[in-house]
Amino acid sequence: MNDNINRRRFLKIAGIATATAPFISKGVMPEQQKTVRIGFIGVGARGTDHIKAMLLIKNITISAVCDVDSEAAKRAALMITKAGLPAPTLYVEGELNWQQMLERDDLDLVIIATPWKWHTPMAVMAMKHGIVPGVEVPSSLSVKECWDLVDTSEKTGVGCMMLECWSFRNDNLALLNMVRQGLFGQIVHVHCAHSHNCIPHWFFDQKTGLDRWPAEYLLKYNRDQYPTHSVGPVLSWCDINCGDRFTSITSTATGSFGINDYFIQKFGPDHPGAKRKYAQGDIVTSTLKTAKGKTVVINYDMQLPRPYDNRWMLQGTRGVYSEERNSIYLSGKSPRYENYESFAPYQNEFQHKWWKEIGGSGGHGGVDGLQDKLLVEAVRTKSPLPLDVYDSVVMSAIVDLSGLSIEKGSMPIEFPDFTRGKWATSRPKFACDKG
């Protein structure tokens, strides 16, 4: 395997030298013009979102597409050729055909948008073949898988980025600028949630009630199944992995009532879904402590009827921000004592340079396009990835650790230090905006 890795790296370096030679003679930096060669594993709804975002980026080619659904792969190929790019090679021969795809010598980046169980195995193999994986959330489902990603990245020297799009939101990045400029004083506490009723459209088919692939996890596990959208921006607000770290997690869950009630209302009491026992509680509440004395509360809330929201609240010694209210209060600055004011003027004043200079495009209010462009440019220039492997696994480890705490009667569980001590001396690196 090591010989294969070295051979692939040599071929990639040789290919880069050949491809960039004309630009050297013109005085243009090669990394600014290098074509990034991208592969896709999984081109369902989320994978298609990423293809749309990638097709807006200059100097890329999509060399390979893999999916167990051949029709989905063909649709993706048609999108790519309609955009004027060469047709990709399709890998549609069973659920392990991705392994052959990752053995190619002409991939710099692979986007992994598959069911969760494949995320870590695919990302690990990609790194072993010198390919940067951009892996959908969560990157891993167990602490062991988290260590697999960290160990492989450190051993191969290949980065790994989980595609946590909410870290790149306009409002969240503006808030990060405010935190780093000291407007909130010392950060003390953050609350966040993923509140999104996913029962009718994601876990189950809304027309038939039949299981979709995520339903398996509701039957088998009781944990925070999907923590990354809530905790993603919190990492940078709290300097996690770069000056502070999570040290423990305590989780508790309600009973499981909402799924059965949904099936009773929608399909009647005799539907199999109405009678099954689900392990997953309706709401999971996790409290995380940090080495520097901060606390973070996370709510998993994905199976009860409610509008979508994340309920971010950031409290510092000099002020508080509420995403639910779209409001802020800053001691000594807000015009009315102990009254919230609108966050909108602050978002405009402290808007991050990424949104000023690059802007958003594509899904999730433009966040997909910004995130994917930043990832591609990091791969193109061999720069640090916007979110690194340590950020990716810290967010994802909450899945397994919350389940362990619930299983042990809501006992505190030690949070692993995936940086192996580097957090104490590492400086903040995500979205550093000197403006």
**38 and 182 in one domain?**
no
Of 164, 182, 210, the residue at which a domain comes to its end is 164
**143 and 204 in one domain?**
no
pLDDT at 339 over 80: yes
Residue 143 within any structural domain of the chain:
yes
User: Looking at residues 326-347, what average pLDDT do you find?
Assistant: 93
Output the pLDDT for position 32. 67
Per-chain mean pLDDT for the chain? 93
Residue 367 within any structural domain of the chain:
no
Cα-flanking dihedrals φ and ψ of residue 360, to 5°?
-100, 160
Beta carbons of 282 and 193 less than 8 angstroms apart: no
pLDDT at 417 over 60: yes
Residue 329 structure tokens: 């209060």
Output the pLDDT for position 311. 96
**100 and 52 in one domain?**
yes
Residue 318 within any structural domain of the chain:
yes
Give the pTM. 0.92
User: Looking at residues 321-347, what average pLDDT do you find?
Assistant: 93
**198 and 187 in one domain?**
yes
**210 and 88 in one domain?**
no
Q: From start to end of 146-227, where are the E strands?
A: 161-162, 187-195
**18 and 79 in one domain?**
yes
Output the pLDDT for position 14. 38
Instruction: Report the percent of the chain where pLDDT is more than 90.
Output: 89
**113 and 158 in one domain?**
yes
SS3 11: helix
pLDDT one-digit tens code per residue, 226-280: 999 999 999 999 999 999 999 999 999 999 999 999 999 999 999 999 999 999 9
Output the pLDDT for position 317. 98
Output the pLDDT for position 434. 67
pLDDT one-digit tens code per residue, 164-181: 999 999 999 999 999 999
pLDDT at 405 over 80: yes
Residue 206 within any structural domain of the chain:
yes
Output the pLDDT for position 31. 61
Output the pLDDT for position 255. 98
**284 and 193 in one domain?**
yes
Residue 364 within any structural domain of the chain:
no
Residue 91 within any structural domain of the chain:
yes
**115 and 205 in one domain?**
no
Look at 7-21, 56-70, 124-138 and tell me which has the smallest mean pLDDT: 7-21
Of 147, 164, 181, the residue at which a domain comes to its end is 164
Q: What is the total count of domains within the chain?
A: 2
The more confident residue out of 55 and 28 is: 55
End-to-end CA distance of the chain: 45
**211 and 152 in one domain?**
no
**297 and 405 in one domain?**
yes
Of 139, 164, 189, the residue at which a domain comes to its end is 164
Distance (Å, rounded) from C-alpha 393 to C-alpha 426? 17
Cα-flanking dihedrals φ and ψ of residue 336, to 5°?
-115, 130
Q: Is 293 left (phi over 0), alpha (psi -120 to 50) or beta?
A: left
- For residue 208, what is the domain's CATH number? 3.30.360.10
16: confidence class by pLDDT, cuts 50, 70, 90:
very low
Residue 221 within any structural domain of the chain:
yes
Output the pLDDT for position 338. 78
pLDDT one-digit tens code per residue, 344-397: 999 999 999 999 999 988 889 999 999 999 999 999 999 999 999 999 999 999
Residue 129 structure tokens: 């073949």
Residue 27 within any structural domain of the chain:
yes
20: confidence class by pLDDT, cuts 50, 70, 90:
very low
pLDDT one-digit tens code per residue, 191-238: 999 999 999 999 999 999 999 999 999 999 999 999 999 999 999 999
Range of the domain at 233: 167-357+389-424
- For residue 131, what is the domain's CATH number? 3.40.50.720
**420 and 317 in one domain?**
yes
